[in-house]
Amino acid sequence: MEESDLLKSQGFQVLKEINQGAFARIFLVNNPELGIVAAKVFKNEDFNTEEWDTAGILSKDPTQICPFINQSILAKQFESMTVIFMDYCNMRTLFDLIKTQKDIPIPVIRAMMKQILEGIRYIHSKGIIHRDIKGGNILLHSPPGSGKVILKISGFDIVQIQEHIGKEMMMDVAGTTPFMAPEFHKEDDQGQTLADEKVDIWSAGILFHQLITHSFPFKSPKQVDITQFIEAKHLERPDLIKDNITWDLLTKMLSFDRKERISAENALHHPFFTGEQAKAEILPSAVQLAKAALEALQKVDTTVTLFDADASFSVPLVEIQKIIGMVDPEADMTLLQSKISQPTDSDKFEQKK
């Protein structure tokens, strides 16, 4: 295995392969200098330099500013491959939750969507358009002992950096078809279209629809059904969405006209998140997590953020365990630690950004 051999030659112990995508393979690795991290290995011809440019833009702020992004730590380019080292997220992805087809309580969906939209709001404020928001690119992480789950946006392989923040621009059509905004279905002869950051809001709206209904807003994820939906410009209200406030936000996120589509900033101020009903439905376990986080903040615990102390952002681990089973991040970390071999002098890794 060429990729794992490269990692081993650089002093990394390969613990396991996490994922294999269209452009990269991701491994869980350990090194004395970095600890346990995820290593994303590309062939040089598949590496989008804007992904690393994005990491540079986002790294200017401390993680506490927006913990809902899976941070890249450093990158190294070799003769035929490039490796990006990223924070390791110890649970599964949002796709894994969705594919269980189990009902997720609205208070949990609300907190998850709030984390996702805050992550999107943050990258948009930096002029970064993700272009591939989907369940598989939303990682779940539970800091051992925290009792909470943090959703982190990952998969910046096809990111677009805006020349002028918030302004429309010509860009290549890219993404995963069922999550692509209507404007990405109108490319010119060069495969480009006029679009802006609102393509990510559409994708997040599709996710929102999936979390509530276990389905897409079109008959099937086949191209013919997606095209029919886009051309008809009609979003049918599912029977499962009985609440008018929820439906209002979803229709604003899935507006076929990008100029009418709600922004991440405005979505976060929508009554679905800020109304009296939203406040009343916050889970008691989420309130307890926020209370513990506030006490930790008062003790100057730098691992805790202001978002942790806000119960409206809290996703209790126990709620996720009800959906995907009794995952145990602490036990998993103990198991990983047991696999780590003792470092030798040759294992030292010189960090080069």
Residues annotated catalytic, as ranges: 132
Tokens in use for 7?
């990692």
* C-alpha distances out from residue 297 to 46, 64, 175, 286, 291, Å: 42, 12, 39, 16, 10
DSSP 290-312: HHHHHHHHHTT-TT--TTTT-GG
CA nearest to 325, candidates 97, 150, 140, 104: 97
SS3 242: coil
| CB neighbour class for 19 (10 Å; exposed up to 12, middle 13-18, buried from 19) | middle
**Dist. CA 247–CA 250, nearest whole Å:** 5
Please report how many Cα atoms fall inside a 13 Å half-sphere around the Cα of residue 99, on the Cβ side.
Answer: 8
**Dist. CA 315–CA 229, nearest whole Å:** 33
Tokens in use for 53?
């440019």
Tokens in use for 93?
């992805």
Residues listed for the chain: 353
Residue type at position 14: V
